[in-house]
Amino acid sequence: MNAFLQDCRYAVRRLRRTPGFAAIAVITLALGIGANTAIFTVINAVLLRPLPFHDPGRLVLLTERLPQFPILSASYLNYKDWRDQSTSFSGVGAVRNLNMTLTGGSEPERLVAQMATANLFDLLGLNAARGHMFLPQDDKAGAAGVVLIGYGLWQRRFGESDSVIGQALTLDNKPYTVAGVLPPGFQLLQQTPDILLPMEPWAVTLPDDRSWHPGIQPIARLKPGVKLEAAREEMNTIASRLEKQYPEFNTGSGANVNLMQDQMVQNVRPALLMILGAVGFVLLIACVNVANLMLARATARQREIAVRTAIGATRWRVIRLVLAESVLLSLAGALTGLMLAVAAVPPLMQLGAKSLPPTGEAHIDLMVLAFTDPIELAYSMPVMAAAFTDPIELA
């Protein structure tokens, strides 16, 4: 260890004598490593990080399928039949996105809202931050209007006061009573709602028309031991049964069952993986360029290496000297690239806000460090070290 530290000190002195070369090598590596780390951070947040629900790998989305629309939101009547007739799921709930206007304060505020069935929160494994989630009696026809408010709205408009529970709100000119506060960071189907309402009081007003699709998205949880393919087969059987029972509405209609996370990212996955491949190629070019710089630099060291060999330096001693310089440049490039990635991630997420599904905070965590920086260092160091083989062989 002491010998390696001595080699590193010697490598630092040599790099100080050529600051231009050191700066170019570090910046070249930093750009390649930084770009890979930033893109992988986005991919980790969007594609790899599990959804923040209980056992998210068993959550599925149910959608209708028509010849002209391969993925379509469900009609409310079809959703009810899917829920009542299926046996593959331990629970089936639903959610619907909308907007509402909150009045009664200093000024009206347009809010992002969702409707949800009362069983949805047990299905997702969520509890309220304050108060309680919807009770079964809240989600019935004629029930008194209750509402859940988002954690952000609770902080912004109500100052995180517990007195908000039981308070009356006016939404779209209708009175509601606050039953609870959603947990912090709650997101569902690409929405971070300020307001959540029970679905059934609204759904009973819908017409008896299975061809009308008002944006209802069923969410289900697979029973333990039930495979995705088995659930798909059962839902296809139910869809065929409903097609025969209601031919005027359901002719040609089928049912899709897809993992919730897969369906949410299916439109952005190919583009993100293509970008990751592109920046990986950029890292390859950066490593090759630095190797060429090191090779050009190494030609000037042939005399030094020959002298060291002549006075008794072993081959391993010479290799250790040149590897110490390579390691220092790699570490400096990795640390600089990491700082570039930290600065680049927020603008990347903001740039892709309209096309990427909402995620939790995208940040460089242990998973990113475990799968990017060590891999990139292991990839770049041998390439640079290879630049020293010629003078070593000459010696």
**pLDDT per 10-residue tile (average), the chain, 395 residues:** 72 82 86 85 79 90 91 94 95 95 85 95 92 92 91 92 92 93 89 93 90 93 95 96 92 92 81 82 80 74 70 70 78 86 83 64 71 56 49 47
pLDDT at position 219 is 96
| Of residues 218, 199, 217, 248, the one with CA closest to residue 85 | 218
Q: Which residues contact 58 (CB under 8 A, 6 or more apart)?
A: 221, 222, 224
Tokens of 23: 């700066």
Residue 106 CB contacts under 8 Å (≥ 6 apart), including other chains: none
Q: What is the pLDDT of residue 343?
A: 87
Give whole-number Cα distances, 72 to 5, 63, 89, 129, in Å: 63, 6, 20, 33
Give the pLDDT of residue 355.
64
User: Which H helix or E strand runs over 343?
Assistant: helix 315-351
Q: Tell me, what's the pLDDT at 25?
A: 85
* Cα dihedral 52/54/56/57 (nearest 10): 150
Q: Which of 317, 312, 306 is nearest to 3 (CA)?
A: 317
- The answer to whether 35 and 336 have CB atoms below 8 angstroms apart is no
The domain locations on the chain are: 2-51+267-394, 68-251
- The predicted pLDDT at position 75 comes to 94
Report the pLDDT value the prediction gives residue 390, as an integer from 0 to 100.
47
List beta partners, residue 101. Answer: 110
